[in-house]
Amino acid sequence: MRDWTKLCARVAHGVLFGSAVVAVCGGCSTSGSFPAGATGSGDGTASAGFDVAATDATGQSETVGGPRSDAITGDTTPAPDVAPDAAIGDATGDAGVADATGADADGPKDAAADGPDVDFDLLDPPDAGAEVAADTAAPPSKGLEVVFAHTSSQLYKLEKNAFALVGNFAFTKNAGQVTDIALDDDGNLFAVTFNDVFACDKAIAKCTWLASLPQSFNGLTFVPKDVVLPGKPALIGVANSGEWNLIEVNGNTAKVTKLGAYGGFTSSGDAFSVAKVGTYATVKAGVLAFSDKLVQVDPATGAVLKTVGDTGVSDLWGVAWSAGVLYGFASSGKVYALDIATGKASTVPGLLVPNGVSWWGAGVSTRAAL
């Protein structure tokens, strides 16, 4: 996820801005597994590092490896096929995973494949005058505490101190670069690109188009039910400016309502809201600020309740909480543990991190702590 300085840097690498944002590198991908003997660590070091080639929509490739620079180059080597009939589209909506030569690596896919089995009414606004039902939900099933993280084109799962590649994001239409993800009370995964909102199958990263967005967001989270919407969780989009917006999908239309803003801060790239833990975000205190700050916010308005502290690192584009650890995902590819009392970032002992990735976001269910 990106603040505006990162978005400007990305223009030079093939992302054009006009009345809409068009991502021309949506098909770039990262290696789905470590080569023999290659592992990464939470501080970005590796016992057997490797360089990888990133390819843009023109067919040009460049070698990247290690921590990323401010100009995001996209993902790395082609990933394995993730589903028999999933379609990886480029910015024009064409199907197929492009390799470095421009050829289709996996052959054409069926872009009309069935989407994930999720409740699409979840994002609909509540009926006028509807009574809020008593909370009779069963305890969360195993798996709601699992953290998901992503690059611009691939979804990963963090479990047992190691990352597993779920697959390349596949879209039923309007393929693009994923700027952030969020998981609701039941663990259903939603994603936004610069232009659209999707419901995704978190088992295979297949995303069903829901609606076009009237503006772009570099942060995305659900807040628990009854905080903003009676009886259901609410999907919140965070703008670069720090605005806190409710996203409601009705049919094929996304309605965006401003609820508030951080005030005095811009969005570094993400926020999370977990019941019994709270709602937190990574922010910047001015365009020239080097490191991000961790703040606690009001989930109903986005207003900053408390500045927790300086993290000591920059460009934390993803945050997620699980099993007592607040994870911070940096665009450099490093993953940190953030002290929820001070904001300070530190390495995560024993964490195996894929080499050569650039994290764009992360998410966990609002019920991860229950």
pLDDT confidence bin for 52, thresholds 50/70/90: very low
| Whole-prediction pTM | 0.65
Mean pLDDT across 281-293: 90
Distance between CA 181 and CA 219 in Å, rounded?
Answer: 8
Domain count for the chain:
1
CATH number at residue 286: 2.115.10
For the record, the structure tokens of 319 come out as 């945050």
Select, from the ranges 12-26, 37-51, 302-316, the one with the highest average predicted confidence (pLDDT). Answer: 302-316
Q: How far is CA 286 from CA 131, 135, 291, in A?
A: 43, 41, 10
| Residue of higher predicted confidence among 131 and 164 | 164
Burial (CB < 10 A; 0-12, 13-18, 19+), residue 120, is middle
Identify whether the C-beta of residue 161 lies closer than 8 Å to the C-beta of residue 341.
no
Please check whether residue 356 lies inside any domain of the structure.
Answer: yes
Q: Could you list the residue range(s) of the whole structural domain that residue 25 is in?
A: 4-33+53-94+148-363
Secondary structure of residue 240 in the 3-state scheme = coil
| Residue of higher predicted confidence among 114 and 223 | 223
Please check whether residue 99 lies inside any domain of the structure.
Answer: no
Please check whether residue 135 lies inside any domain of the structure.
Answer: no
Please check whether residue 126 lies inside any domain of the structure.
Answer: no
pLDDT confidence bin for 290, thresholds 50/70/90: confident
pLDDT confidence bin for 228, thresholds 50/70/90: very high
Please check whether residue 111 lies inside any domain of the structure.
Answer: no
Predicted local distance difference test score (pLDDT) of residue 289: 82
Please check whether residue 14 lies inside any domain of the structure.
Answer: yes
Please check whether residue 102 lies inside any domain of the structure.
Answer: no
Please check whether residue 368 lies inside any domain of the structure.
Answer: no
Residues in CB range of 128: below 8 A, 6 or more apart: none
Predicted local distance difference test score (pLDDT) of residue 142: 61
- Total residue count of the chain as it appears in this document: 370
Phi, psi of 342 (to 5 degrees): -120, -20
Predicted local distance difference test score (pLDDT) of residue 30: 37
| DSSP designation for 125 | P
pLDDT exceeds cutoff 80 at 258: yes
